[in-house]
Structure 1
Amino acid sequence: MTPVEVVRGDGPLVLGLPHSGTWLPDDIAARLNDRGRRLADTDWHVDRLYDGLLPGASVVRATFHRYVIDANRPPSGETLYPGQNTTGLVPLTDFDGRPIWDAPPDAEEIKTRRQAFHTSYHAALEAEMKRVHARHGVAVLYDCHSIRSEIPFLFDGRLPDFNIGTNGGATCAPEFETAAREICTAAEGYATVVNGRFRGGWTTRHYGRPNEGWHAIQMELAQRTHLTAEAPPFAYDPARAARLRVVLGALLQRIEEIALSLGDTT
């Protein structure tokens, strides 16, 4: 199993999928406890949800599970949300704060995993961003995520359906954030927040360099928008997903239009 899948498109958008993978190398799987092997914190079916929504978009997808190593955390392991509960570079607990390992990895193993998986994913993502930027004079990373709506260990209450993150507007030109807010807010039956609990993970913050023509925006979807239930077996709901895909497709198309207007295609 290769740790990263890349689909190259000819447009200015790159879709990043760091958390939809479920592959566990055998030696790592054997060290998880029963709770860890449930893989409950997967971004379930996000790859299917976005599949084919924007012809020409590139896709960089991690095939490994976030319990191997979290590709959306700083390689240093520092927290992105000081003072709030979260999970680390290699999570020791699940999103409910429960241990997931019978034998947790030590510092040396984390270093090995970082090189084999985290570095591989970001090498592929950076290469794709460079390729797209060279072609269009602009590159936009749209980082695709989903999460359960209610996780008391991580946040109070119930998440909105669309959680848009730009780290307070620092990771992209304002036109992208405005478009995301307007399209999601106008979508009937959905709730939206910008830079709420999820302001953009390390990926968004690292690649969001608008002064260099690199823009990044994170979309954290509440899983109730496209699953039958936010509990095992975390099944894809075709009807809910079809309705959601209309909104996401419109958003991606608008982001592409903005990107092309900002880029230099001469």
Structure 2
Amino acid sequence: MMGSVMDSYQLTQGDTPLLISMPHAGTALTPAVEAGLNEAALSLADTDWHLPRLYDFAAALGASRLEARYSRYVIDLNRPENDTPLYAGATTGLFPDTDFDGEPLFRDGQVPSKEEREWAKEHVWRPYHNVLAGELARLKARFGYALLFDAHSIRSRIPRLFDDQLPDINLGTFEERSCDSELSKSLQAVCAAQSRFTHVINGRFKGGHITRSYGDPASHIHAVQLELSQRTYMNEPDDDQPIFAYREDRAAEVRPVLREVLEAMQRWGQARYAKG
């Protein structure tokens, strides 16, 4: 068996219009991918580490939460199924063969087969997107609109992908095509109201496949991506060991900002749709 269909995602339904998607938080591997990864790649360095823990306040907000269980090294849920590139320059695709630093992931001759990749499309990529679309439809049917927050994190320094150090908070709205411009302004105001963390909107990360595909303001579905610098809540490779460890001292500072961003989305939606 190539993998477990039942373990491809976890959905927790809430009772507000907000859905939080975490497509890169998974660490499960199929047998073929686990057997093929080289020793360095087995650390799964490009994972969006600890996001379910970081966002564990989502239940108190009444948000739905969709978490991937498989690693992006099996298949990248934030890439189109046809693997059309989303960004100019260096990037990774639907089936990554290098890490963010450009280093090979697989040992010679051990790249997963075409059949194994088709299995991943059928049993990992499509189920995640089917349930994502279904949950947004459920929320829109109930409330008249839906809010999608696509949660990501990334190392603060990756020279191959971006120059210098990444801002702490990187919001993406696909140049305000994935959400209403007033919602975008509201989130920018939240970030500008605090001074602890640097921020940018539609910088290096404008929103991946999920934000671009599901955000449809004309149909009352508003999508925002957040690419959070991992230095804000965990150890990075240049920190003291243990590598990739969650840092509660750091997380305690950034979580109130994350919560305020999500609450601002909810407030905006309530005000906008209360007007009819």
TM-score (normalizing by structure 2): 0.92
Q: Is the 8 A contact 1:135 1:265 kept in 2?
A: no
1:149-208 deviation line (CA, Å, top 9, x unaligned): 110111111100000001100000112211211111222221111100000000000000
Q: Deviations over 1:60-110 (max 9, x none)?
A: 11011000000000110010013x100010100000000001211244432
Q: Are 2:154 and 2:227, in contact at CA under 8 Å, matched by a contact in 1?
A: yes
Alignment of structure 1 residues 30-109 onto 2, 5 Å: 30-53=35-58, 54-82=60-88, 84-102=89-107, 103-109=110-116
Q: Is the 8 A contact 1:164 1:193 kept in 2?
A: yes
SS in 2 for 1:30: helix
Residue identity (%): 43
CA shift, 1:240, in A, is: 1.0
Quote the offset at 1:55 in angstroms.
2.2
Q: Distance in 1 between matches of 2:103 and 2:192?
A: 35
| 2:201 paired with 1:194 | yes
Question: Offset of 1:264 from its aligned partner?
Answer: 6.5
Instruction: Pick the aligned partner of 1:246 from 235, 244, 256.
Output: 256
Would you say the 8 A contact 1:136–1:264 is kept in 2?
no
1:110 counterpart residue number: 117
Q: Is the 8 A contact 1:149 1:158 kept in 2?
A: yes
Alignment check: 8 A CA contact 2:32 2:116 kept: no
| Aligned residue type for 2:268 | I
Superposed CA RMSD in Å reads 1.6
Secondary structure class of the residue paired with 1:133:
helix
Amino acid of the structure 2 residue aligned with 1:244:
V
Do 1:136 and 1:265's aligned partners in 2 also have CA atoms closer than 8 Å?
no
CA contact (8 A) 1:12 1:260 kept: no
Unaligned runs of 5+ in 2: none
How far, CA to CA, are the matches of 2:83 and 2:186 in structure 1?
32
Shift of 1:230: 4.1
Q: CA-to-partner distance for each residue in 1:16-61, whole Å, 9 max, x for gaps?
A: 0000111112232111111221100000111111112452100011
Q: Structure 1: which amino acid aligns with 2:122?
A: Q
1:22–1:42 Cα contact (<8 Å) kept: yes
Unaligned stretches of 5+ residues in structure 1:
none
Normalising by structure 1, what TM-score? 0.95
1:265 to 1:30, Cα distance in 2 relative to 1, 3 A: farther
Equivalenced residue count is 265
Q: Judge conservation of contact 2:155–2:236 (CA < 8 Å) in 1.
A: no
Partner of 1:126: 133
- 2:12 equivalent among 4, 7, 10: 7
Runs of 4+ displaced beyond 4 Å = none
